[in-house]
Structure 1
Amino acid sequence: MKYLIGIVGLIVVLGIAWLASNDRRKVKIKPIIIMIVLQFILGFILLNTSVGNWLIGGIADGFGKLLNYAAEGVNFVFGGIVNPGQMTFFLSVLLPIVFISALIGILQHWRILPFIIKYIGLALSKVNGMGKLESYNAVASAILGQSEVFISVKKELGLLPKHRLYTLCASAMSTVSMSIVGSYMVLLKPEYVVTALVLNLFGGFIIASVINPYEVTDQEDILEVKEEAKQSFFEVLGEYIMDGFKVAVTVAAMLIGFVAIIAMINAIFSGIFGLSFQELLGYVFAPFAFLVGVPWDEAVKAGSIMATKMVSNEFVAMNDLASGNFHFSGRTTAIVSVFLVSFANFSSIGIIAGAVKSLNDKQGVVVARFGLKLLFGATLVSFLTATIVGLIY
């Protein structure tokens, strides 16, 4: 029975994406089938072996060390600012962007990032039928994060048409960054985090290629930006450090506004209906939770956690799931866990729009206009990953 429901769920998720497609006639079926098969194969391997967990865990540890180095600089400037018992979001999450941005500048100056774009992007584009830049960006998003990744392609941002910009932003929202994978593993089982990380990569390609299909010519895919003058190492380093700080400050401002508005909406719904916005959305999400494999008697509660993630963020939802108050079955826990491992929430609209706007004001306005469609697509990616896991688990 679970396989029948799962297959129906898979058809429903892809069908919703198809209905929202910009041009249904341009949707390429073959790459989508290949990527879905890869999702099943990789998901099965990751959920039944420790190799994937070991690999991702090692990468996460490496990025954890980088964040520790970043903390040295933050503590030097802001030492003594303490928020007992809580994480100071700006200091702990946003300001390390400055250090990571500096590293990106170094990699760009040494021509390492262009090398990665050319060859990893070329390999993935053969599978997904998309451009090399889009393929690179999806992998880079999973490593650098949804804000920092735009710094790595900041020279190309101003040249991208709307449809290609959407795909880049959709990849950033559908994945999570390696720098916080370790934090997720404290709240969720590592195998679920690793599986979601890999499946979301291909899921992002699948949903984007259905919602936003297009052809990229070889001429369009070679985006070589000529520098006005050769910059020295320290000029590049200073430029990227300032770019990182601009991203951190802009993202912080966007988050303040979005989180405050969501809190206001929750208060209004609680006053009118006696239920928060998340609780009401739990009933909306329940049918979808059922279709991805959650038993009906657990679907409303599972839908509530899924909605909490979308309305607030994944950490709030993960804490709810890890609290032990829901007593889900193992399969439901696996399905909900992989659903939570992405940046698909309302706040991410502000984060991504703010990050792009800080680097290219015109393109930032474009991103803000299709922000809701970004969230729609990224949420479908999470449902697709959950459906695959529901069929495998």
Structure 2
Amino acid sequence: MLQLQSAFGVVALLVIAWALSENRLKVSLRQAAIGLVVTIATALVLIKVPLVTQAFGAINDAVGTIAAATRAGTAFVFGYVGGGPAPFDPKAPGSDFILAFQALPIVLVMSVLTTLLFYWRVLPPVVRGMAWLLERTLGVGGAVGLSTAANIFLGMVEAPLFIRPYLAQLTRSELFLVMTGGMAGIAGTVLVLYATLLAPLIPDAAAHFVIASVLGAPAAILVSLIMVPETSDKRTGGSLDNPDIQVSSTMDAIVKGTAAGLELLMNIIAMLLVLVALVYLANAIIGLLPEIGGAKISLQRLLGYVMAPVCWLMGLPWPQAITAGSLMGTKTVLNELIAYVDLSKLGPDALDPRSRLIMLYAMCGFANFASLGIMIGGLGIMAPERRDEINALGLKSIVSGTLTTCLMGAIVGMLTQP
């Protein structure tokens, strides 16, 4: 029954996207049907085909190696604070884990690895292959197909660098597709971090994060073309260059990748500190209200009630939907890292294994208000003549990105037995 509930949720989420469409009459049912089939087929291949699942199993080993390598660096630099042997016995298990010094530095290592793989021309052919598949199967233009494919590995600002010369030429629908692709995925620099956080909770977490990144490409195209359908015959294509990553050597790539990763790391730490503090203040204010059901009102509890129906549509049992809704609300209002940290702290009775897996996919995206500011700033610099249109599509892109990740969660719920 829960799998049928997820199947109903897939249809319901697409209906919600259609209800929010700018031009419902222009939505191509044929293109939407093809997009849905491609998305479900991609999920089937990545999750159910044994050979493919074994290949993704190797990704878990690779992520474990990267995490171990990072831990070696943090232990050397920070000592026991960074994960080295402690000179004392911790009173409480896990109390020696310090997020800022043990988990977050993975962002530095991944930033360098990503820069190196682009400089060595390893990732560009993979991205171009994905763009070719998206163009042939879903009928999108070459430029937006390339940007959407790049979102599998890169963030919402880095991926559009692939098509920077074409941003001014994109149609409104294509521009929205680029924005949705950014909101519906995560960057490779944080993928390993999230996988490390959830590895004790979800088997093969790293493989599922990679699958979610790949699945996000066709799902984002499907949702964005429903919410902002193409009204012209123009498709932006062309011979596209590699992103403008100015590195002259392997060592230069390491230096510049480290610098970019350090900026990202400091931003993550600062945002976490500020957002957690703001949530605490909000809960302190809301907590002055009378209790409901014998418990204080909190921001997470309110968000849980709002997002619970969406979580039920993805296939979660209703008793677990409010807890999951709180996670989705935290992810949307704050960011997905805080939501994943909250998920990692939940007890085994809060969400069953299937529900945890669905939530891994449902929260695997940058669709939140902080990311919107980053996207508007980055795209506005790359295409200043489209700044007003980018601003106008901003809030809609948060909705489309959230619907896309929830759609992925519902599809995974269809394929996963309770």
Say whether 1:133 aligns with 2:147.
no
The aligned counterpart of 2:307 is 285
Alpha-carbon distance in 2 for matches of 1:353, 1:257: 23
TM-score by length of 2: 0.72
The aligned counterpart of 1:350 is 373
Q: Structure 1 residues 135-144 or 311-320, which shifts more?
A: 311-320
TM-score by length of 1: 0.76
The aligned counterpart of 1:169 is 179
Q: CA deviation at 1:95?
A: 5.7
Q: CA deviation at 1:138?
A: 1.9
Q: Residue 127 of structure 2 contacts residue 150 of structure 2 at CA under 8 Å; is this kept in 1?
A: no
Q: Structure 1 residues 119-128 or 355-364, which shifts more?
A: 355-364
Alpha-carbon distance in 2 for matches of 1:364, 1:65: 42
Q: Residue 358 of structure 2 contacts residue 409 of structure 2 at CA under 8 Å; is this kept in 1?
A: yes
The aligned counterpart of 1:337 is 360
Normalized per residue, the structure richer in helix is 1
Q: Structure 1 residues 34-43 or 261-270, which shifts more?
A: 261-270
The aligned counterpart of 2:297 is 275
Alpha-carbon distance in 1 for matches of 2:368, 2:313: 21
Alpha-carbon distance in 2 for matches of 1:135, 1:65: 32
Structure 2 letter corresponding to 1:125? E
1:138-149 matches, cutoff 5 A: 138-149=148-159
Q: CA deviation at 1:215?
A: 5.6
Q: Residue 146 of structure 2 contacts residue 163 of structure 2 at CA under 8 Å; is this kept in 1?
A: no
Q: CA deviation at 1:207?
A: 0.6
Unaligned runs of at least 5 residues, structure 1: 226-230
The aligned counterpart of 2:213 is 197
Instruction: Let me know the Cα RMSD of the aligned residues.
Output: 4.5
Unaligned runs of at least 5 residues, structure 2: 83-95, 291-295
Alpha-carbon distance in 1 for matches of 2:113, 2:170: 24
Identity of aligned residues (%): 24
Q: CA deviation at 1:374?
A: 1.4
- 220, 227, 244: which one aligns with 2:236: 220
Q: CA deviation at 1:198?
A: 3.5
Alpha-carbon distance in 1 for matches of 2:215, 2:111: 29
Q: CA deviation at 1:298?
A: 2.0
The aligned counterpart of 1:228 is none
Structure 2 letter corresponding to 1:25? L
Q: CA deviation at 1:311?
A: 2.5
- 282, 290, 299: which one aligns with 2:321: 299
SS across alignment from 1:22: coil
Alpha-carbon distance in 2 for matches of 1:192, 1:34: 24
The aligned counterpart of 1:40 is 40
1:1-393 matches, cutoff 5 A: 1-2=1-2, 4-56=4-56, 58=58, 85-88=97-100, 92=105, 99=112, 102-103=115-116, 106=119, 113=124, 120-179=130-189, 180-181=191-192, 182-183=195-196, 184-185=198-199, 187-190=201-204, 192-214=208-230, 220-222=236-238, 233=248, 241=256, 244=260, 248=264, 255=271, 259=275, 265-272=282-289, 274-322=296-344, 323-357=346-380, 359=382, 366-393=389-416
Alpha-carbon distance in 1 for matches of 2:57, 2:116: 21
Structure 2 letter corresponding to 1:13? L
Q: CA deviation at 1:197?
A: 3.2
